[in-house]
Amino acid sequence: KINNNSCRIISRICTNLQRISLRGCMNISNEGIIQFAFGCPNLEILNLKNFLNISNLGIQEIARKCHNLTFINLSGCIKITDL
């Protein structure tokens, strides 16, 4: 299963990652998303559809660090509110 530790490892190894779909990964929280924000600043496309354990905190870090982001799917992310 993909979890926060998996995100930490991926973000350290794949620092030039541009696209990732983590759709429906239930074991990832803000902690894991923040790993991608700091480790993969070149992200352009991020699919987080149906994430139940992330909130504005994780998305704010992605917005701050991933300046090349052109698409993010947050549909079904019930803890995300208007920033």
Per-residue pLDDT tens digits for 22-70: 998 989 999 999 999 999 999 999 999 999 999 999 999 999 999 999 9
Determine the pLDDT at residue 82: 78
Determine the pLDDT at residue 83: 58
pLDDT band at 1 (very low <50, low <70, confident <90, very high): confident
d(CA 56, CA 37): 13
Give mean pLDDT, residues 1-29.
Answer: 95
Give mean pLDDT, residues 11-32.
Answer: 96
d(CA 34, CA 40): 10
Determine the pLDDT at residue 64: 97
